[in-house]
Structure 1
Amino acid sequence: MPTPLPTGPLVTRDTIAEALRDLGVRPGESLLVHSSLRSLGWVCGGPVAVVQALLDVLGPDGTLVVPAQSGDLSDPALWSRPPVPEEWWETIRAAMPVYDPEITPTRGVGVIPETVRTWPGAVRSAHPHASFAALGPRAGQLMEGHAANCRLGERSPLAKLETAGARVLLLGSGYDSCTSFHLAEYRIPAPLVEVGRPGPHGWEVVTEVSISSERFDELGHDFERDRPVVRGRVGAADARLFPVADAVAYAQRWLAVHRPREGDFPHPAA
Protein backbone atom coordinates (compact mmCIF):
# COMPACT_ATOMS: atom_id res chain seq x y z
CA MET A 1 0.00 0.00 0.00
CA PRO A 2 1.25 3.55 -0.69
CA THR A 3 2.48 5.54 2.26
CA PRO A 4 -0.23 8.01 3.31
CA LEU A 5 0.49 11.69 3.00
CA PRO A 6 1.25 13.52 6.27
CA THR A 7 -1.58 15.26 8.02
CA GLY A 8 -1.43 19.03 7.59
CA PRO A 9 -1.52 21.88 7.66
CA LEU A 10 2.07 22.59 6.73
CA VAL A 11 3.47 24.87 9.43
CA THR A 12 6.78 26.75 9.39
CA ARG A 13 8.77 28.97 11.71
CA ASP A 14 7.44 32.05 9.92
CA THR A 15 3.78 31.01 9.92
CA ILE A 16 3.97 30.14 13.62
CA ALA A 17 5.51 33.52 14.40
CA GLU A 18 2.87 35.34 12.34
CA ALA A 19 0.06 33.51 14.13
CA LEU A 20 1.58 34.26 17.55
CA ARG A 21 1.79 37.97 16.70
CA ASP A 22 -1.82 37.91 15.53
CA LEU A 23 -2.78 36.28 18.81
CA GLY A 24 -1.16 39.12 20.72
CA VAL A 25 2.17 37.76 21.95
CA ARG A 26 4.33 40.86 22.48
CA PRO A 27 8.04 41.52 22.14
CA GLY A 28 9.76 41.84 25.50
CA GLU A 29 7.21 39.98 27.61
CA SER A 30 7.72 36.91 29.78
CA LEU A 31 5.69 34.01 28.44
CA LEU A 32 4.98 30.65 30.12
CA VAL A 33 4.20 28.16 27.35
CA HIS A 34 2.40 24.83 27.67
CA SER A 35 2.49 23.11 24.32
CA SER A 36 1.69 20.14 22.10
CA LEU A 37 3.78 19.83 18.95
CA ARG A 38 1.45 17.26 17.41
CA SER A 39 -1.53 19.61 17.63
CA LEU A 40 0.10 22.19 15.33
CA GLY A 41 0.05 20.09 12.16
CA TRP A 42 3.09 19.12 10.07
CA VAL A 43 5.81 21.38 11.44
CA CYS A 44 8.76 21.96 9.14
CA GLY A 45 11.71 21.82 11.52
CA GLY A 46 9.78 20.22 14.36
CA PRO A 47 10.20 21.55 17.90
CA VAL A 48 13.26 23.61 16.94
CA ALA A 49 11.13 25.67 14.54
CA VAL A 50 8.52 26.23 17.26
CA VAL A 51 11.11 27.47 19.75
CA GLN A 52 12.69 29.68 17.10
CA ALA A 53 9.30 31.19 16.27
CA LEU A 54 8.57 31.89 19.95
CA LEU A 55 11.94 33.57 20.35
CA ASP A 56 11.42 35.54 17.12
CA VAL A 57 8.19 37.01 18.47
CA LEU A 58 9.43 37.64 22.02
CA GLY A 59 12.57 39.30 20.68
CA PRO A 60 15.86 39.84 22.51
CA ASP A 61 14.14 41.43 25.51
CA GLY A 62 11.53 38.69 25.97
CA THR A 63 11.81 35.56 28.11
CA LEU A 64 10.41 32.15 27.21
CA VAL A 65 9.53 29.80 30.09
CA VAL A 66 8.39 26.17 29.89
CA PRO A 67 7.67 23.43 32.43
CA ALA A 68 10.63 21.05 32.65
CA GLN A 69 9.22 18.46 35.02
CA SER A 70 10.97 15.19 35.78
CA GLY A 71 8.35 13.20 37.64
CA ASP A 72 10.15 9.91 36.98
CA LEU A 73 12.57 10.80 39.81
CA SER A 74 9.89 9.62 42.22
CA ASP A 75 8.91 6.68 44.38
CA PRO A 76 8.45 3.59 42.17
CA ALA A 77 5.74 2.43 44.57
CA LEU A 78 3.53 5.12 43.02
CA TRP A 79 4.25 4.42 39.36
CA SER A 80 1.32 3.38 37.21
CA ARG A 81 2.31 4.20 33.60
CA PRO A 82 3.60 1.50 33.72
CA PRO A 83 4.01 0.04 37.22
CA VAL A 84 7.09 -1.97 38.16
CA PRO A 85 7.28 -5.11 40.31
CA GLU A 86 7.39 -4.47 44.05
CA GLU A 87 10.58 -6.50 44.39
CA TRP A 88 12.32 -3.88 42.23
CA TRP A 89 11.39 -0.88 44.37
CA GLU A 90 14.31 -0.81 46.79
CA THR A 91 16.87 -1.33 44.04
CA ILE A 92 15.34 1.48 41.98
CA ARG A 93 15.36 3.83 44.98
CA ALA A 94 19.03 3.06 45.64
CA ALA A 95 20.15 3.34 42.01
CA MET A 96 18.05 6.26 40.75
CA PRO A 97 20.23 9.19 39.56
CA VAL A 98 20.01 12.42 41.56
CA TYR A 99 18.39 15.39 39.80
CA ASP A 100 20.87 17.43 37.79
CA PRO A 101 19.44 20.52 36.06
CA GLU A 102 22.00 20.17 33.28
CA ILE A 103 21.29 16.57 32.25
CA THR A 104 18.05 15.25 33.79
CA PRO A 105 15.56 15.02 30.91
CA THR A 106 12.00 16.27 31.09
CA ARG A 107 9.15 13.80 31.29
CA GLY A 108 5.50 14.12 30.38
CA VAL A 109 5.58 17.75 29.19
CA GLY A 110 6.28 17.22 25.50
CA VAL A 111 9.16 17.65 23.10
CA ILE A 112 9.07 21.47 22.96
CA PRO A 113 10.05 21.92 26.64
CA GLU A 114 12.84 19.37 26.22
CA THR A 115 14.08 21.40 23.25
CA VAL A 116 14.08 24.58 25.38
CA ARG A 117 15.85 22.78 28.24
CA THR A 118 18.73 21.79 25.94
CA TRP A 119 18.88 25.14 24.08
CA PRO A 120 22.12 27.13 24.41
CA GLY A 121 21.82 29.55 27.31
CA ALA A 122 18.81 27.87 28.94
CA VAL A 123 18.46 28.21 32.70
CA ARG A 124 16.60 25.56 34.70
CA SER A 125 15.20 25.80 38.21
CA ALA A 126 16.29 23.54 41.04
CA HIS A 127 13.24 21.51 42.06
CA PRO A 128 13.86 17.80 41.35
CA HIS A 129 10.28 17.08 40.23
CA ALA A 130 8.69 20.33 39.08
CA SER A 131 11.40 22.47 37.52
CA PHE A 132 10.97 25.10 34.82
CA ALA A 133 13.40 26.10 32.08
CA ALA A 134 13.80 29.56 30.56
CA LEU A 135 15.52 31.46 27.77
CA GLY A 136 16.00 35.21 27.75
CA PRO A 137 17.29 38.11 29.83
CA ARG A 138 15.05 37.37 32.84
CA ALA A 139 15.69 33.61 32.82
CA GLY A 140 18.13 33.59 35.72
CA GLN A 141 16.02 35.86 37.89
CA LEU A 142 12.85 33.86 37.29
CA MET A 143 14.45 30.44 37.80
CA GLU A 144 16.55 31.14 40.91
CA GLY A 145 15.42 30.19 44.38
CA HIS A 146 13.09 27.32 43.50
CA ALA A 147 12.86 25.62 46.90
CA ALA A 148 13.38 21.87 47.05
CA ASN A 149 10.16 21.42 49.05
CA CYS A 150 7.93 23.75 47.01
CA ARG A 151 6.93 22.27 43.68
CA LEU A 152 4.59 24.95 42.34
CA GLY A 153 4.04 27.39 45.20
CA GLU A 154 5.32 30.68 46.58
CA ARG A 155 8.99 29.70 46.30
CA SER A 156 8.71 28.50 42.72
CA PRO A 157 9.08 30.33 39.40
CA LEU A 158 5.28 30.52 39.17
CA ALA A 159 5.07 33.10 41.94
CA LYS A 160 7.82 35.14 40.26
CA LEU A 161 6.06 34.95 36.92
CA GLU A 162 2.87 36.18 38.57
CA THR A 163 4.68 39.15 40.12
CA ALA A 164 6.46 39.92 36.85
CA GLY A 165 3.18 40.22 34.92
CA ALA A 166 3.92 37.17 32.77
CA ARG A 167 1.30 35.58 30.58
CA VAL A 168 0.43 31.96 29.83
CA LEU A 169 0.24 30.59 26.30
CA LEU A 170 -1.62 27.31 25.92
CA LEU A 171 -0.41 26.17 22.52
CA GLY A 172 -2.49 23.12 21.66
CA SER A 173 -2.62 22.18 25.34
CA GLY A 174 -5.66 22.13 27.58
CA TYR A 175 -6.25 23.70 30.95
CA ASP A 176 -5.34 20.41 32.61
CA SER A 177 -1.70 21.36 31.92
CA CYS A 178 -2.02 24.92 33.29
CA THR A 179 0.52 25.01 36.13
CA SER A 180 -0.67 28.47 37.21
CA PHE A 181 -3.75 26.81 38.69
CA HIS A 182 -1.47 24.82 40.98
CA LEU A 183 -0.12 28.01 42.55
CA ALA A 184 -3.67 28.67 43.71
CA GLU A 185 -3.66 25.32 45.51
CA TYR A 186 -0.90 26.61 47.78
CA ARG A 187 -3.09 29.55 48.80
CA ILE A 188 -6.09 27.59 50.01
CA PRO A 189 -6.22 24.94 52.74
CA ALA A 190 -4.66 21.82 51.29
CA PRO A 191 -3.33 18.59 52.74
CA LEU A 192 0.34 17.75 52.86
CA VAL A 193 1.88 14.65 51.35
CA GLU A 194 5.21 12.90 51.79
CA VAL A 195 7.15 12.66 48.54
CA GLY A 196 10.08 10.31 48.00
CA ARG A 197 12.96 11.03 45.64
CA PRO A 198 16.71 10.46 45.21
CA GLY A 199 18.82 12.97 47.13
CA PRO A 200 22.52 13.79 47.40
CA HIS A 201 22.85 11.49 50.42
CA GLY A 202 20.53 8.71 49.31
CA TRP A 203 16.78 8.26 49.15
CA GLU A 204 14.95 11.11 50.89
CA VAL A 205 11.37 11.91 51.82
CA VAL A 206 10.15 15.52 51.91
CA THR A 207 6.81 17.04 52.83
CA GLU A 208 5.01 18.93 50.04
CA VAL A 209 1.60 20.46 49.48
CA SER A 210 -0.60 17.90 47.75
CA ILE A 211 -1.44 19.01 44.21
CA SER A 212 -3.85 17.62 41.63
CA SER A 213 -5.12 18.68 38.22
CA GLU A 214 -8.49 17.10 38.98
CA ARG A 215 -11.29 19.28 37.53
CA PHE A 216 -8.84 21.74 35.94
CA ASP A 217 -10.73 21.35 32.65
CA GLU A 218 -13.91 22.56 34.36
CA LEU A 219 -11.99 25.33 36.07
CA GLY A 220 -10.55 26.42 32.73
CA HIS A 221 -13.97 26.43 31.09
CA ASP A 222 -15.35 28.76 33.77
CA PHE A 223 -12.22 30.92 33.76
CA GLU A 224 -12.51 31.41 30.01
CA ARG A 225 -16.20 32.25 30.35
CA ASP A 226 -15.67 34.86 33.08
CA ARG A 227 -12.27 36.38 32.34
CA PRO A 228 -10.70 37.89 29.20
CA VAL A 229 -8.84 35.05 27.52
CA VAL A 230 -7.49 35.67 24.02
CA ARG A 231 -8.26 32.74 21.72
CA GLY A 232 -6.90 31.94 18.30
CA ARG A 233 -5.23 29.34 16.12
CA VAL A 234 -1.61 28.52 15.47
CA GLY A 235 -1.45 26.06 12.62
CA ALA A 236 -4.12 23.48 13.51
CA ALA A 237 -3.79 24.12 17.24
CA ASP A 238 -6.14 26.02 19.49
CA ALA A 239 -4.22 28.72 21.35
CA ARG A 240 -5.12 30.66 24.47
CA LEU A 241 -3.33 33.63 26.00
CA PHE A 242 -3.95 35.11 29.46
CA PRO A 243 -2.09 36.58 32.46
CA VAL A 244 -0.67 34.23 35.10
CA ALA A 245 -2.09 36.51 37.80
CA ASP A 246 -5.63 36.28 36.41
CA ALA A 247 -5.47 32.48 36.31
CA VAL A 248 -4.15 32.20 39.85
CA ALA A 249 -6.68 34.62 41.35
CA TYR A 250 -9.63 32.98 39.59
CA ALA A 251 -8.49 29.46 40.50
CA GLN A 252 -8.03 30.41 44.13
CA ARG A 253 -11.70 31.38 44.38
CA TRP A 254 -12.99 28.56 42.17
CA LEU A 255 -11.14 25.71 43.86
CA ALA A 256 -12.23 26.76 47.32
CA VAL A 257 -15.86 26.40 46.25
CA HIS A 258 -15.84 23.60 43.67
CA ARG A 259 -13.06 21.31 44.87
CA PRO A 260 -12.81 21.41 48.67
CA ARG A 261 -9.74 19.61 49.91
CA GLU A 262 -11.25 17.45 52.63
CA GLY A 263 -8.86 14.61 51.88
CA ASP A 264 -5.72 13.96 49.97
CA PHE A 265 -5.61 13.36 46.25
CA PRO A 266 -3.18 10.75 44.93
CA HIS A 267 0.27 12.10 44.18
CA PRO A 268 0.83 12.25 40.39
CA ALA A 269 2.64 9.08 39.35
CA ALA A 270 5.46 8.97 36.89
Structure 2
Amino acid sequence: MDDARWITADQLATALTDIGLPTGGIVMVHSRLSAFPWIVGGVEGVMRALLTSCGPNGTITAYAGWEDNPYHLAGWPEVRQAAYRTGMPAFDPAVSEARRSFGRLPERIRTWPGAQRSAHPEMNLVAVGAQAAWLTRSSLDDDPWGPDSPLARLVEAQATILLLGAPLDSLTLVHHAERIATAEPKRWVSYEMPVTTDGGGTVWHPFSAIDTSRGAFDYAAITTGVDYIEAIARSALTAGIGRHASVFGAPCHLFPAHSLVEHATTWIDQRFGSAQTPPARP
Protein backbone atom coordinates (compact mmCIF):
# COMPACT_ATOMS: atom_id res chain seq x y z
CA MET A 1 0.00 0.00 0.00
CA ASP A 2 2.78 2.44 0.86
CA ASP A 3 4.90 1.99 -2.29
CA ALA A 4 2.44 3.36 -4.87
CA ARG A 5 3.41 6.38 -6.96
CA TRP A 6 0.00 6.84 -8.53
CA ILE A 7 -3.17 6.08 -6.58
CA THR A 8 -6.53 5.49 -8.23
CA ALA A 9 -9.87 6.20 -6.57
CA ASP A 10 -10.56 2.48 -6.33
CA GLN A 11 -7.22 1.82 -4.65
CA LEU A 12 -7.80 4.62 -2.16
CA ALA A 13 -11.33 3.38 -1.43
CA THR A 14 -9.97 -0.10 -0.69
CA ALA A 15 -7.28 1.34 1.56
CA LEU A 16 -9.82 3.41 3.50
CA THR A 17 -12.01 0.36 4.01
CA ASP A 18 -8.97 -1.63 5.14
CA ILE A 19 -8.13 0.89 7.89
CA GLY A 20 -11.69 0.69 9.23
CA LEU A 21 -13.63 3.56 7.67
CA PRO A 22 -17.23 2.54 8.42
CA THR A 23 -19.86 1.91 5.77
CA GLY A 24 -23.23 3.62 6.00
CA GLY A 25 -22.39 6.25 8.62
CA ILE A 26 -21.30 9.88 8.70
CA VAL A 27 -17.63 10.65 8.15
CA MET A 28 -16.19 14.12 8.77
CA VAL A 29 -13.01 14.49 6.74
CA HIS A 30 -10.02 16.77 7.23
CA SER A 31 -7.54 16.29 4.40
CA ARG A 32 -4.07 17.30 3.29
CA LEU A 33 -3.61 15.72 -0.11
CA SER A 34 0.01 16.80 -0.38
CA ALA A 35 0.79 14.08 2.17
CA PHE A 36 -0.05 11.44 -0.47
CA PRO A 37 1.63 10.30 -3.66
CA TRP A 38 -0.10 11.44 -6.85
CA ILE A 39 -3.83 10.72 -6.71
CA VAL A 40 -5.33 10.08 -10.14
CA GLY A 41 -8.15 12.55 -10.68
CA GLY A 42 -6.98 14.78 -7.83
CA VAL A 43 -9.59 15.83 -5.28
CA GLU A 44 -12.37 14.34 -7.40
CA GLY A 45 -10.64 10.98 -7.11
CA VAL A 46 -10.52 11.42 -3.33
CA MET A 47 -14.21 12.28 -3.21
CA ARG A 48 -15.14 9.24 -5.26
CA ALA A 49 -12.99 7.04 -3.03
CA LEU A 50 -14.73 8.36 0.09
CA LEU A 51 -18.18 7.82 -1.40
CA THR A 52 -17.28 4.31 -2.48
CA SER A 53 -15.83 3.37 0.90
CA CYS A 54 -18.77 4.82 2.87
CA GLY A 55 -21.37 3.26 0.58
CA PRO A 56 -24.72 4.57 -0.73
CA ASN A 57 -26.09 5.09 2.79
CA GLY A 58 -23.04 6.98 3.98
CA THR A 59 -22.51 10.72 4.33
CA ILE A 60 -19.31 12.71 3.75
CA THR A 61 -18.93 16.07 5.46
CA ALA A 62 -16.26 18.71 6.06
CA TYR A 63 -15.83 22.09 7.72
CA ALA A 64 -16.10 24.61 4.89
CA GLY A 65 -16.13 28.07 6.46
CA TRP A 66 -16.08 30.97 4.00
CA GLU A 67 -13.15 32.19 1.90
CA ASP A 68 -12.00 35.76 2.64
CA ASN A 69 -14.66 36.20 5.32
CA PRO A 70 -14.45 39.31 7.53
CA TYR A 71 -14.28 37.51 10.90
CA HIS A 72 -11.37 39.74 12.03
CA LEU A 73 -12.85 42.91 10.51
CA ALA A 74 -12.69 44.95 13.74
CA GLY A 75 -8.92 44.62 13.90
CA TRP A 76 -8.24 45.69 10.31
CA PRO A 77 -7.18 49.18 9.12
CA GLU A 78 -10.15 51.47 8.58
CA VAL A 79 -9.65 51.65 4.82
CA ARG A 80 -9.80 47.87 4.54
CA GLN A 81 -12.87 47.74 6.78
CA ALA A 82 -14.58 50.27 4.53
CA ALA A 83 -13.79 48.22 1.43
CA TYR A 84 -15.34 45.10 2.94
CA ARG A 85 -18.33 46.99 4.36
CA THR A 86 -19.21 48.26 0.90
CA GLY A 87 -17.94 45.47 -1.33
CA MET A 88 -18.10 42.09 0.41
CA PRO A 89 -20.76 39.86 -1.18
CA ALA A 90 -23.32 38.49 1.27
CA PHE A 91 -22.83 34.92 2.43
CA ASP A 92 -24.80 32.51 0.28
CA PRO A 93 -24.62 28.83 1.32
CA ALA A 94 -25.13 27.76 -2.30
CA VAL A 95 -22.47 30.05 -3.78
CA SER A 96 -19.90 31.26 -1.24
CA GLU A 97 -16.56 29.50 -1.61
CA ALA A 98 -15.16 27.25 1.12
CA ARG A 99 -11.98 28.42 2.81
CA ARG A 100 -8.94 27.41 0.78
CA SER A 101 -6.80 27.05 3.90
CA PHE A 102 -8.93 24.03 4.82
CA GLY A 103 -7.68 22.22 1.72
CA ARG A 104 -9.39 21.41 -1.57
CA LEU A 105 -11.86 18.82 -0.32
CA PRO A 106 -14.45 21.11 1.36
CA GLU A 107 -14.95 23.09 -1.86
CA ARG A 108 -15.20 19.85 -3.85
CA ILE A 109 -17.91 18.62 -1.45
CA ARG A 110 -19.70 21.98 -1.63
CA THR A 111 -19.95 21.77 -5.41
CA TRP A 112 -20.80 18.06 -5.58
CA PRO A 113 -24.30 17.19 -6.88
CA GLY A 114 -26.81 17.13 -4.04
CA ALA A 115 -24.52 18.89 -1.57
CA GLN A 116 -26.00 20.55 1.52
CA ARG A 117 -24.51 23.33 3.65
CA SER A 118 -25.36 24.66 7.10
CA ALA A 119 -26.37 28.28 7.55
CA HIS A 120 -23.67 30.00 9.63
CA PRO A 121 -21.28 32.05 7.47
CA GLU A 122 -18.17 31.48 9.59
CA MET A 123 -18.73 27.93 10.89
CA ASN A 124 -20.58 25.81 8.38
CA LEU A 125 -20.42 22.20 7.28
CA VAL A 126 -20.85 20.94 3.73
CA ALA A 127 -22.15 17.42 3.27
CA VAL A 128 -23.09 14.89 0.61
CA GLY A 129 -24.99 11.68 1.19
CA ALA A 130 -27.96 10.06 2.89
CA GLN A 131 -27.93 12.21 6.06
CA ALA A 132 -26.59 15.44 4.57
CA ALA A 133 -29.83 17.42 4.90
CA TRP A 134 -30.36 16.30 8.52
CA LEU A 135 -26.76 17.01 9.47
CA THR A 136 -26.64 20.54 8.03
CA ARG A 137 -30.12 21.68 9.12
CA SER A 138 -29.66 24.98 10.96
CA SER A 139 -30.60 28.64 11.07
CA LEU A 140 -28.49 31.76 10.94
CA ASP A 141 -28.78 32.52 14.65
CA ASP A 142 -28.00 29.04 15.96
CA ASP A 143 -24.90 28.69 18.14
CA PRO A 144 -22.51 27.21 15.53
CA TRP A 145 -20.48 25.30 18.13
CA GLY A 146 -23.22 24.51 20.64
CA PRO A 147 -25.39 21.61 21.75
CA ASP A 148 -27.90 21.97 18.88
CA SER A 149 -25.34 22.54 16.13
CA PRO A 150 -24.40 20.30 13.20
CA LEU A 151 -21.28 19.39 15.20
CA ALA A 152 -23.51 18.11 17.99
CA ARG A 153 -25.34 15.97 15.43
CA LEU A 154 -22.03 14.39 14.46
CA VAL A 155 -21.73 13.23 18.05
CA GLU A 156 -25.37 12.13 18.20
CA ALA A 157 -24.94 10.09 15.01
CA GLN A 158 -21.80 8.33 16.27
CA ALA A 159 -19.88 9.80 13.33
CA THR A 160 -16.26 9.06 12.50
CA ILE A 161 -13.65 11.80 12.14
CA LEU A 162 -11.05 11.02 9.47
CA LEU A 163 -7.76 12.89 9.29
CA LEU A 164 -6.71 12.03 5.75
CA GLY A 165 -3.09 13.13 5.82
CA ALA A 166 -4.13 16.15 7.92
CA PRO A 167 -2.38 16.99 11.22
CA LEU A 168 -3.93 16.37 14.62
CA ASP A 169 -4.60 20.06 15.19
CA SER A 170 -7.21 19.88 12.40
CA LEU A 171 -9.85 18.37 14.71
CA THR A 172 -12.61 20.98 14.47
CA LEU A 173 -14.84 18.90 16.73
CA VAL A 174 -12.70 19.90 19.72
CA HIS A 175 -14.29 23.37 19.48
CA HIS A 176 -17.66 21.75 20.15
CA ALA A 177 -16.14 20.18 23.26
CA GLU A 178 -14.93 23.64 24.35
CA ARG A 179 -18.43 25.02 23.96
CA ILE A 180 -20.22 22.31 25.96
CA ALA A 181 -17.53 21.92 28.66
CA THR A 182 -18.73 23.14 32.06
CA ALA A 183 -15.52 25.05 32.81
CA GLU A 184 -15.89 28.82 33.02
CA PRO A 185 -15.18 31.52 32.18
CA LYS A 186 -14.88 30.98 28.43
CA ARG A 187 -13.57 33.50 25.95
CA TRP A 188 -16.29 34.85 23.67
CA VAL A 189 -16.04 37.00 20.56
CA SER A 190 -18.53 39.22 18.79
CA TYR A 191 -18.34 39.94 15.08
CA GLU A 192 -20.44 40.80 12.04
CA MET A 193 -20.90 39.11 8.68
CA PRO A 194 -22.81 40.23 5.57
CA VAL A 195 -25.84 38.01 4.93
CA THR A 196 -28.77 38.13 2.54
CA THR A 197 -32.07 39.55 3.73
CA ASP A 198 -35.46 38.04 2.86
CA GLY A 199 -35.86 40.78 0.28
CA GLY A 200 -32.60 39.94 -1.43
CA GLY A 201 -30.54 42.77 0.02
CA THR A 202 -27.48 42.62 2.26
CA VAL A 203 -27.25 43.33 5.98
CA TRP A 204 -24.31 43.04 8.38
CA HIS A 205 -25.58 40.57 10.94
CA PRO A 206 -24.10 40.40 14.49
CA PHE A 207 -22.83 37.07 15.81
CA SER A 208 -21.49 35.86 19.13
CA ALA A 209 -19.55 32.65 19.69
CA ILE A 210 -16.71 31.15 21.68
CA ASP A 211 -13.28 32.30 20.58
CA THR A 212 -11.93 29.55 18.33
CA SER A 213 -9.10 31.71 16.99
CA ARG A 214 -7.19 31.82 20.30
CA GLY A 215 -9.20 29.07 21.97
CA ALA A 216 -11.97 29.40 24.55
CA PHE A 217 -9.50 29.01 27.44
CA ASP A 218 -5.92 30.03 28.29
CA TYR A 219 -4.36 26.91 26.80
CA ALA A 220 -0.96 28.54 26.36
CA ALA A 221 -0.45 28.34 30.12
CA ILE A 222 -0.56 24.54 30.08
CA THR A 223 0.41 23.44 26.55
CA THR A 224 3.60 25.39 25.93
CA GLY A 225 4.85 24.86 22.40
CA VAL A 226 2.01 22.52 21.42
CA ASP A 227 -1.31 23.45 19.85
CA TYR A 228 -4.04 22.62 22.35
CA ILE A 229 -6.11 20.69 19.82
CA GLU A 230 -3.12 18.49 19.08
CA ALA A 231 -2.53 18.06 22.82
CA ILE A 232 -6.12 16.90 23.32
CA ALA A 233 -5.92 14.60 20.29
CA ARG A 234 -2.72 12.99 21.56
CA SER A 235 -4.28 12.56 24.99
CA ALA A 236 -7.25 10.81 23.38
CA LEU A 237 -4.97 8.49 21.41
CA THR A 238 -3.06 7.62 24.59
CA ALA A 239 -6.40 6.79 26.23
CA GLY A 240 -7.23 4.41 23.38
CA ILE A 241 -9.66 6.75 21.65
CA GLY A 242 -8.90 6.84 17.94
CA ARG A 243 -6.05 5.24 16.08
CA HIS A 244 -3.30 5.96 13.60
CA ALA A 245 -2.93 4.33 10.19
CA SER A 246 -0.64 4.81 7.23
CA VAL A 247 -2.36 5.07 3.86
CA PHE A 248 0.06 5.05 0.92
CA GLY A 249 2.64 6.55 3.26
CA ALA A 250 0.38 9.39 4.47
CA PRO A 251 -0.34 9.61 8.21
CA CYS A 252 -4.05 9.18 8.87
CA HIS A 253 -6.19 8.97 12.00
CA LEU A 254 -9.70 7.77 12.78
CA PHE A 255 -11.57 9.12 15.81
CA PRO A 256 -15.05 8.19 17.04
CA ALA A 257 -16.82 11.56 17.41
CA HIS A 258 -18.75 10.70 20.57
CA SER A 259 -15.76 9.34 22.51
CA LEU A 260 -13.49 12.14 21.30
CA VAL A 261 -15.87 14.84 22.55
CA GLU A 262 -16.35 13.06 25.89
CA HIS A 263 -12.60 12.87 26.35
CA ALA A 264 -12.01 16.47 25.24
CA THR A 265 -14.65 17.93 27.55
CA THR A 266 -13.22 15.98 30.50
CA TRP A 267 -9.70 17.13 29.59
CA ILE A 268 -10.86 20.75 29.51
CA ASP A 269 -12.97 20.60 32.66
CA GLN A 270 -10.17 18.97 34.66
CA ARG A 271 -7.79 21.80 33.75
CA PHE A 272 -10.07 24.83 33.65
CA GLY A 273 -12.99 23.93 35.93
CA SER A 274 -13.83 26.85 38.17
CA ALA A 275 -16.31 27.87 40.79
CA GLN A 276 -16.42 31.35 39.35
CA THR A 277 -19.73 32.72 38.14
CA PRO A 278 -19.84 32.43 34.34
CA PRO A 279 -19.64 35.78 32.57
CA ALA A 280 -22.68 36.94 30.66
CA ARG A 281 -22.71 35.89 27.03
CA PRO A 282 -22.01 38.89 24.77
- Give TM-score scaled by structure 1 length: 0.86
Secondary structure in 2 matching 1:186: helix
The equivalences for 1:161-200 within 5 A come to 161-188=154-181, 189=184, 190-200=186-196
1:231 to 239, 244, 250: 244
Q: Deviations over 1:110-161 (max 9, x none)?
A: 1011111100111111111111011111110111025534222223211011
Q: Deviations over 1:222-251 (max 9, x none)?
A: 111112323212223111112111111111
Post-superposition offset of 1:199: 2.9
* Identical amino acids, percent of aligned pairs: 32
Structure 2 contact 67–96 (Cα < 8 Å) conserved: no
Residue of structure 1 in register with 2:211 after alignment = 210
Deviates more, 1:105-114 or 1:188-197: 188-197
Residue of structure 1 in register with 2:33 after alignment = 37
Post-superposition offset of 1:78: 5.6
Q: Distance in 1 between matches of 2:210 and 2:50?
A: 32
- Does residue 222 of the first structure (1) align with residue 238 of the second (2)? no
Structure 2 contact 67–97 (Cα < 8 Å) conserved: no
Secondary structure in 2 matching 1:218: helix
Task: Count matched residues.
Answer: 253
Q: Distance in 2 between matches of 1:47 and 1:260?
A: 42
The one-letter amino acid of 2:90's match is V
Residue of structure 1 in register with 2:265 after alignment = 252
Q: Distance in 2 between matches of 1:156 and 1:93?
A: 28
Post-superposition offset of 1:99: 0.8
Residue of structure 2 in register with 1:47 after alignment = 43
The equivalences for 1:1-270 within 5 A come to 9-70=5-66, 72-75=68-71, 77=73, 85-107=77-99, 108-188=101-181, 189=184, 190-200=186-196, 201-211=202-212, 212=214, 214-258=227-271
> Structure 2: any 5+ residue segments left out of the alignment?
197-201, 216-226
Secondary structure in 2 matching 1:219: helix
- Give TM-score scaled by structure 2 length: 0.82
> Structure 1: any 5+ residue segments left out of the alignment?
1-7, 265-270
Residue of structure 2 in register with 1:267 after alignment = none
The one-letter amino acid of 1:233's match is S
Post-superposition offset of 1:162: 0.6
> RMSD value over aligned CA atoms?
2.3
Q: Deviations over 1:14-59 (max 9, x none)?
A: 2211110111012211111111111122111100000000000111
Q: Deviations over 1:151-191 (max 9, x none)?
A: 22223211011111111111111221111111111112323
Q: Distance in 2 between matches of 1:246 and 1:170?
A: 16
Deviates more, 1:251-260 or 1:237-246: 251-260
Deviates more, 1:124-133 or 1:185-194: 185-194
Q: Distance in 1 between matches of 2:33 and 2:139?
A: 27
